[in-house]
Structure 1
Amino acid sequence: MSRPIKQIENMRQVRFNSIWLVPLIALLVAAWMLYQNWSTQGPVITLIASNAEGLEMGKTRLKSRNVDVGRVIDIRLSEDYESAVIKVRMNHGTEQMLRDDAKFWVVKPRIGKEGVSGLGTLLSGAYIDMTPGVKGKQQTDFTILNQPPLSTENEGVRLMLSSTEGSKLDVGALVHFRGYEVGYVEKVGFDSDKGAITYRIVIRSPYDALINSDVQFWMTPGLSLKSSASGFEVRLDSLETFLAGGISFGLPVGRPPGAPVSDMAQFRLFSSKESANNNVYDEFINYVFLFDSNVSGLVPGAAVEFRGVRIGTVLDVPFNGISMDALTSLDTPLIPVRARIEPQRLNAASTSGAMSLQKWNELIEERINKGLRASLKIGNYLNAAKVINIDFVDNPSPIVWKEFEGYQIFPTAPDAFANIENKVVTILDNLSQVPLDSTFKQLGQTMQEANETLRELQALSKSVKQLLDKSETQQLPADLVATINELNLTLQSYQANGQIGRPLKENMESLGRALNELQPLLRQVRENPNTLIFDSKPRVDVQPKAAK
Structure 2
Amino acid sequence: RLESLSALLGGSIAVDSPGEGQPVEMNTKFKLYPDLKTAGRGISIKIAVPDDNKISATGAPIMYRGIEIGQITDLSLSEGRENVVASAAIQPAFSDFLNSGSKFVLEEAELSLTGMKNIANLVTGNFLTLVPGEGEKARRFTAIRKNEFSQEQEKSVAIRLTSNNSFGLDVGTQLLYKGIAVGSIIHVGLVDGVGTGSDKHEVFMDALIDNEYAHLIKSHNRFFVTGSATAELTESGLSVTVPPAKQLLTGSISFVSEGKSEARTDYQLFQSKSLAEIAKFNQSGSKTLSLFASELPSISKGSPLLYRNLQVGSISDFQLADGGVRIKVTIENRYTHLLNKHTVFWNRSGVEVDASLSGISIKAAPVKTLIQGGIAFD
TM-score, normalising length from structure 1? 0.42
Write 1 or 2 for the structure with the bigger share of strand: 2
5 Å-filtered alignment, 1:203-352, equals 203-220=209-226, 222-223=227-228, 236-238=242-244, 241-251=247-257, 257-262=258-263, 265-280=265-280, 288=291, 290=293, 299-303=304-308, 315=312, 319-320=315-316, 323-326=318-321, 329-330=323-324
Write the distance in 2 (CA, Å) between the matches of 1:54 and 1:290. Answer: 68
Write 1 or 2 for the structure with the bigger share of helix: 1
Q: Alignment partner of 1:199: what SS?
A: strand
5 Å-filtered alignment, 1:69-468, equals 70-72=69-71, 74-75=73-74, 85-96=86-97, 98-99=99-100, 102-105=103-106, 110-112=110-112, 115-119=115-119, 128-132=127-131, 134=133, 139-142=138-141, 148-149=146-147, 152=150, 153-167=153-167, 169-194=169-194, 195-220=201-226, 222-223=227-228, 236-238=242-244, 241-251=247-257, 257-262=258-263, 265-280=265-280, 288=291, 290=293, 299-303=304-308, 315=312, 319-320=315-316, 323-326=318-321, 329-330=323-324, 361=341, 417=353
* C-alpha distance after superposition, 1:335-359 (max 9, x if no partner): 898999x9999xxxxxxxxxxx98x
Write the distance in 2 (CA, Å) between the matches of 1:114 and 1:33. Answer: 48
Q: Per-residue deviation at 1:162?
A: 2.2
> Is the 8 Å Cα contact of residues 99 and 137 (structure 1) preserved in structure 2?
yes
Write the distance in 2 (CA, Å) between the matches of 1:98 and 1:172. Answer: 33
Show the counterpart of 1:412.
none
The answer to whether structure 1 residue 46 and structure 2 residue 51 are counterparts is no
> Is the 8 Å Cα contact of residues 99 and 134 (structure 2) preserved in structure 1?
no
> Is the 8 Å Cα contact of residues 150 and 186 (structure 1) preserved in structure 2?
no
Q: Alignment partner of 1:116: what SS?
A: strand
5 Å-filtered alignment, 1:500-519, equals none
Q: Alignment partner of 2:269: what SS?
A: strand
Show the counterpart of 2:365.
none
Write the distance in 1 (CA, Å) between the matches of 2:155 and 2:270. Answer: 26
Show the counterpart of 1:430.
none
Q: Alignment partner of 1:92: what SS?
A: helix
Q: Alignment partner of 1:198: what SS?
A: strand
Quote the RMSD (CA, aligned, Å): 5.5
Q: Per-residue deviation at 1:182?
A: 0.4
> Is the 8 Å Cα contact of residues 230 and 242 (structure 2) preserved in structure 1?
no
* C-alpha distance after superposition, 1:320-369 (max 9, x if no partner): 45x4222x623xx89898999x9999xxxxxxxxxxx98xx5xx59xxxx
Q: Per-residue deviation at 1:150?
A: 7.0
Sequence identity, in percent?
16
Q: Per-residue deviation at 1:63?
A: 1.2
Select the structure of larger CA radius of gyration: 1
Q: Per-residue deviation at 1:180?
A: 0.9
For structure 1, list consecutive stretches of 5 or more residues without a partner in the other structure.
Answer: 1-25, 252-256, 305-312, 346-356, 366-372, 379-383, 387-414, 425-548
Q: 1:142 to 1:61 in 2, by over 3 A?
A: same
> Is the 8 Å Cα contact of residues 103 and 131 (structure 1) preserved in structure 2?
yes
Q: Per-residue deviation at 1:190?
A: 3.3
> Is the 8 Å Cα contact of residues 186 and 208 (structure 2) preserved in structure 1?
yes
* C-alpha distance after superposition, 1:282-303 (max 9, x if no partner): 9xxx89585879768x953341
> Is the 8 Å Cα contact of residues 99 and 133 (structure 1) preserved in structure 2?
no
Judge which range, 48-57 or 94-103, deviates more.
48-57
Q: Per-residue deviation at 1:191?
A: 2.9
Q: Per-residue deviation at 1:224?
A: 5.1
For structure 2, list consecutive stretches of 5 or more residues without a partner in the other structure.
Answer: 1-6, 20-40, 195-200, 283-288, 361-378
Q: Alignment partner of 1:325: what SS?
A: strand
TM-score, normalising length from structure 2? 0.57
Q: 1:187 to 1:106 in 2, by over 3 A?
A: closer
Show the counterpart of 2:38.
none
Q: Alignment partner of 2:162: what SS?
A: strand
